[in-house]
């Protein structure tokens, strides 16, 4: 079951300055927490849930961030278009930085075995034809399946 390029190698080291510059370029006021949350998303190799983000922040020099502030900053990043939110069928929200090279609307892959979610930035999703006077706010396509790693795992011995 060979798939083109999953998971997409998105992980990268991003400096605070770089993250701050991207926020400024988007015309946004830069605060310490905004930079840290955005940087963490940019560095992540895949979309992260709230608890995962919190863990990463706790492990970083920043230290823990309270849930409400984290939530507000994530919502803000989504609103200004620097991040996107993915809802897989496990009903967990995950967040990912919006990268320039990504198609604006792209599907996501949810592995039903390990529960991880990946962006499929190279696939674009054609917008559906809507009835007259209907307008789209957002569209989500989640592909449920088994990722390359889980597909290769040996069957459990018994």
What are the strands of the beta sheet with 117-119, ordered from one edge? 117-119, 108-111, 142-145
Q: Nearest Cα to 23, choosing from 67, 107, 83, 64? A: 83
The answer to the question of residue 111 lying near Zn ion (CB under 5 A) is: yes
| Separation of alpha carbons 51 and 53, rounded Å | 5
Site for Zn ion in 74-103 (CB under 5 A): 96
Instruction: Find the largest Cα–Cα distance for the chain.
Output: 59
**119 phi and psi, to 5 degrees?**
-75, 145
Read off the tokens for 48: 């992260």
The answer to the question of residue 119 lying near Zn ion (CB under 5 A) is: yes
Q: At closest approach, how far in Å is the CB of 111 from Zn ion? A: 3
Q: At closest approach, how far in Å is the CB of 133 from Zn ion? A: 29
| Separation of alpha carbons 41 and 112, rounded Å | 23
Cβ pair 73, 93 in contact under 8 A: no
Q: Which stretch binds Zn ion (CB under 5 A): 3-11, 14-22, 57-65, 140-148?
A: 140-148
Annotation-wise, does 119 bind a ligand?
no
The answer to the question of residue 143 lying near Zn ion (CB under 5 A) is: no
Instruction: Pick one of 15, 21, 31, 113: the residue that binds Zn ion (CB under 5 A).
Output: 113
Q: Which stretch binds Zn ion (CB under 5 A): 2-10, 17-25, 58-66, 118-126?
A: 118-126
Annotation-wise, does 150 bind a ligand?
yes
Nearest CB to Zn ion, comparing residues 66 and 80:
80
Q: Interface with Zn ion by CB under 5 A: which residues?
A: 96, 111, 113-114, 119, 147, 150
Binding site per annotation, positions for Zn(2+):
111, 114, 147, 150
């Amino acid at each position: 079951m060979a798939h083109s390029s999953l998971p997409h190698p998105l992980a990268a080291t991003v400096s605070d300055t770089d993250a701050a510059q991207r926020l400024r370029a988007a015309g946004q006021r830069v605060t310490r927490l905004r930079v840290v949350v955005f940087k963490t998303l940019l560095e992540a190799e895949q979309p992260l849930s709230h608890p995962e983000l919190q863990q990463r922040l706790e492990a970083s020099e920043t230290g823990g961030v309270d849930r409400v502030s984290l939530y507000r900053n994530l919502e803000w990043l989504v609103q200004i278009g620097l991040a996107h939110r993915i809802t897989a069928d496990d009903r967990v929200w995950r967040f990912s930085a919006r990268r320039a090279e990504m198609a604006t609307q792209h599907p996501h892959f949810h592995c039903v075995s390990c529960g991880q979610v990946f962006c499929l930035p190279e696939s674009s999703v054609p917008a559906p034809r809507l009835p007259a006077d209907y307008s789209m706010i957002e569209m989500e396509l989640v592909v449920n399946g088994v990722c390359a790693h889980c597909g290769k795992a040996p069957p459990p011995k018994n």
